[in-house]
Each structure stands twice: as C-alpha cells, then as structure tokens.
Structure 1
C-alpha cells in the first residue's frame, strides 16, 4: 500500500500529534477512548511519528478527547438536530467515536489540512469538510443552518496559535452569522504564549504558541457577547504521571497552568 506523503504548513503539521497519541491509546491495555480508527489512519501516512514521545502531551491529548467527547455527547443528547462547526478539525475522528444523532457536522480547516482529510478520512453521512481559514468569513456561506436550529462550535488545538486580535475576529464572525451558539474551546494559560519550547511535542515542529489566558472567564474580555459557563481542567483526569505530579496537581496555582476545555454562549449584538 502506498502511504500518503505529508506536506503541511507549520501549524497544520501539529494535527498529526493528537492523531498519533490517540492511536497509542488505542493500543494500550485499557484504552479510555475508542481510537481504533486513528490506528488505521496512522497506517496510511508516511511520516516519522517517533519524534513525538512527550509523556504529558500523550496524556493531554487523550484527556482532551475524553472531555470533549463527553461534553459534545451531552449537547447532542439535548440538541440532536443541531449543526456542529468543528474548527481546526485536522484529522479529528470524533464523529467515528460518538453517535452524532441527527446533527450535521462541518469540519473546517485550512485547505492543505482538508485536502489531507479528504484523502484519508472516510466520508460519513451528514459530515462535510470546508477548506477555509476560520478567519475567512466566507466559510459561513458553505454552512446551512435552518432558522431556530441550535449550533455547537468546537475549537480544540487552535487558539494557542492565534493572536488575540485573530481570536476576536473569529468570535465576531460567529456573532455576525448566528444569533446564538454554544461553544466548547480549548484554553491554554498565558505562561505558554511565546514559550513553545517548553511543550514536549509542539517544540519539535515549526509552530509557535502566541496566545493564552489565565482563566476561561477571561475570554469574556476579548469582545462583547461572550458568556462563560464552566471549565474542565486536564489535571483532573491525568493518569500515571507520578507521585510528584499528583502532589503538584493539588496546588491551585500549578493546577491552573494546565490546559482546559471551557464552555461559552456567544450571542449576536
């Protein structure tokens, strides 16, 4: 079988990191997510994944999947006919792991990432791929939302590579096109902004962290129309990181440095 060569931009290349780590989880003795599909994808790609061996990142990618799978499931149970906008989708395989009900999914990412996704990920009913930047407001022209239909926005593994102004632009695009959405965003701490060298996996790429906030609620200060609900800290689900890690994770300041998934409501003005 001829494997797919990888030719991605610096940030887009990072989509391979969570894919690889999910595939490792699938091969573990007691996998916490059903990631067998990710193993199949890895086997189709010609790439040196061995450079990615960060223990914290492996755990972080799995915990992120656990939290988002759970929260997306909750939303779909309450809004089974919703539209899901999955930004920076890369090779996300969430729709292969969960029951998407009667929802319609739009996977949105830069053109080279979507080109790779189209080659590797099997087509699925009610799931569509859009090859545009999340900052290009014309992506909304490719999305069909019925009057009164609920909208869920997911952004994982993306905001840290954007500037605050770019995140403001994105949120304003959402506000311009939708009266109200429920959003799940991955949030990283300000300490990591411009400190990519401290990340055990992303430092092995040419991508750069640009943004962070200390608390999920701080996103309300970026632009109007953003209402914070709650957040889920990765530290709460980390496993097998050692006794010292477990001790430090109980310290509030240290724990707050962890990545989080935060939920929001974004409303038009």
Structure 2
C-alpha cells in the first residue's frame, strides 16, 4: 500500500507529534493506554521518524508520550459521560488531524464528525476509513459554515485536542459563544495550558522536533474565571495529567508522576468543559 508523504515544517507535520506520542505510550505503558490506530497510521506515513526514534527512550520524550495519551483518555472520559445522557449525540472532533477518538468512543448509535483544514482531511481520507455514521468536513474552524453540517438535534459534544493553543483568545471566545447559541444542551471540551506552559511547549517541544513558524497564542491560568464568557455557559475544569486518572502503573516512574503534578499545578495544564445551557 502506497505511503502518504508528510512534508517538513508544515501544519500537516504537527499531526505527527500527538500521533507518535500515542504510539509510544501504547508501547511503553499498555496497562494504562492502548491506541490500536496509532501504530498502523505511523506505518502508513512517508515521514522520517529517525530523530524521534533516537529520543524515544529519554525521560522527556517518555513523558511527552504520556501527555498525548492522558489528554486523549481525559477527553474520552468526558465524551463517554456525555453519551450516557445523550446516546445518539454527535461527537465533533475539531482540528481532528489523524485522531480517531470518535471511533474509540463509538457506542453504535452516536454520530461522528471530523473537521480540519482541506489538506489535513485529504490525508485523513487516504489513511482512515470512515464508519457509516461518520463524516469528514474540510474547513477552517474559523469559517463557521462547517457548523451547518453538524446535527445537534440529539445532543452534541465538541472537542479540540491541542488545537486552541494556536488561536487568539478572542477567536476561542467567539467560537465558544457561537457554539453555545447553536447547540443548547451541548458541550465543548478542550485542553489548555497557562502562560508559562505555553511558552515552554512552543519553545521546547515543537521546535525540538524541527517544526518552525508555528505560533502559540492562547493560554489560560485560571479556567473557571477566564472562561466565564456567558451566563449560558457552565465551566468546569480538571487537571490534564492527574485530574481524571492517577497514572499508577509499575512502568511509570515516580519522577513522571512528580512532573505530572508540576504540569497540572504550575504549568496550569487542564481539561476544560463548557456546558451550554438548554435555552428551550
């Protein structure tokens, strides 16, 4: 099967960071996390993984793989909780990349929508088969026309994993307010970091992988206060690394757990949920 080429220093290359992290975590910590899609997808990509392979046993890269995995586990927890109340809801993956969280949460009756830039969706269509209740939408998230294709009649949970870091604060606010108007009873889940955390992430993680010209903009130090944008939105927030799972595993070092606590408490890494009040 022909491989799909990923060019260096492109938006498409940013897809590799979380994908490879999930693959690493599945290999190193299978007792807490398994991603059946990540390894197969990496094998399908024409991309030079050699630099990542050299670093994968280092402490920081191991921790980076845990970060990618914990974020997905946290978001999956929120989706599954929402589906308990609205089993036929639509799961919307904003800035989906090569992520298959929707399929991982599929209860057999929900619907799945994946939204990303046209060049990303083009790659996704080449690599990933859709299920019968799944659609891909090629569109900039800031162009709200994609919302016209999302049916929230039976509930909708939208999530953005590692996406809003590259938005301006006003862009995230405008998007959230628009979603709250269109999808009463729905919710939006996304990850965030504090000002210091964002600076560290952009300077160390992406640039260390040779990715340039990607600017980080959006950060939150106090989610409950800073996301209080409307009386029609209820905000809850949990720690990114330890807010949902305790990360207890024989293969996870004490130093990993210590750094996880630092990430949640000092770098202000969090998973935020915005519930849109039912206006009917």
Query: What TM-score do the two structures reach when normalised by structure 1?
Result: 0.86
Which residue of 1 is the match for residue 98 of structure 2? 91
Which residue of 2 is the match for residue 141 of structure 1? 148
Which residue of 2 is the match for residue 178 of structure 1? 183
Which of 109, 115, 121 matches 2:116? Answer: 109
Partner secondary structure for residue 105 of structure 1: strand
Partner secondary structure for residue 27 of structure 1: helix
Give deviations 1:124-149, integer Å, cap 9, x for gaps.
12111101111101111222333xx2
* Aligned mates of 2:100, 2:174 — CA distance in 1: 27
Q: How many residues end up aligned between the 2 structures? A: 266
Give deviations 1:166-207, integer Å, cap 9, x for gaps.
112211331342233222111111213455444334542122
Report the CA distance shift for 1:254/1:127 in structure 2 as closer, same or farther (over 3 A): closer
CA positional deviation for 1:32:
2.2
- Asked if structure 2 preserves the Cα contact closer than 8 Å seen for 1:196 and 1:208, the reply is no
The two structures, once aligned, show a CA RMSD in angstroms of 2.7
* Aligned mates of 2:28, 2:258 — CA distance in 1: 25
Report the CA distance shift for 1:84/1:197 in structure 2 as closer, same or farther (over 3 A): closer
Which residue of 2 is the match for residue 220 of structure 1? 227
Which residue of 2 is the match for residue 260 of structure 1? 270
Which residue of 1 is the match for residue 66 of structure 2? 59
Give deviations 1:74-129, integer Å, cap 9, x for gaps.
21122111112210111111233333331111111111111111110111121111
- Asked if structure 1 preserves the Cα contact closer than 8 Å seen for 2:91 and 2:110, the reply is yes
Which residue of 2 is the match for residue 233 of structure 1? 240
Which residue of 2 is the match for residue 14 of structure 1? 14
Q: Are positions 1:128 and 2:135 aligned together?
A: yes
Unmatched runs of 5 consecutive residues or more in structure 1:
none
CA positional deviation for 1:13:
2.3
Which residue of 1 is the match for residue 162 of structure 2? 157
* Aligned mates of 1:8, 1:174 — CA distance in 2: 34
Which residue of 2 is the match for residue 30 of structure 1? 30
Give deviations 1:208-230, integer Å, cap 9, x for gaps.
21110112213424556432123
Which residue of 1 is the match for residue 44 of structure 2? 44
Partner secondary structure for residue 271 of structure 2: strand
Partner secondary structure for residue 186 of structure 2: strand
Of the structure 1 ranges 54-63 and 151-160, higher mean CA displacement relative to structure 2 is found in 54-63
* Aligned mates of 2:257, 2:241 — CA distance in 1: 12
